[in-house]
Amino acid sequence: MTRPQPDPVYLSFLRQGKGSGVTRIEGLVMHPSLKENLLKEFKRRFACGGTLSEGTLELQGDHRDKIEAELRAKGHEVRRKG
């Protein structure tokens, strides 16, 4: 099985001040419209808000475990940052 992209996808969790923090998905190589569709799917599945910022998907809350499982099921190599 070939990997869908040459480099790993990086997951990180950032908390700034108050709030539940943001899960970031960086390094995902795909067309911007496909990123929008993936973001929409994650937002619906995890019942959270999110945005696409400079090619990085950002979801409200800590969803690293669930997102890592989803991306690995799709054949991506996933690494965590931080």
How far is residue 37 from each of residues 1, 40, 54, 81, 82, measured CA to CA in Å? 24, 5, 16, 24, 26
Domain that holds residue 25: 9-80
% of residues, the chain, pLDDT over 70:
94
Angle at 66 between CA 24 and CA 78, to 5 degrees: 60
Per-residue tens of pLDDT for the chain, all 82 residues: 445 567 899 999 999 887 789 999 999 988 999 999 999 999 999 999 999 999 999 999 999 999 999 999 988 999 999 7
Task: Count up the domains in the chain and report the number.
Answer: 1
2 part of a folded domain: no
74 part of a folded domain: yes
CATH number of the structural domain spanning residue 46: 3.30.780.10
The two beta strands, 9-14 and 78-80, are parallel
1 part of a folded domain: no
User: CB of 64 within 8 A of CB of 21?
Assistant: no
4 part of a folded domain: no
User: CB of 2 within 8 A of CB of 74?
Assistant: no
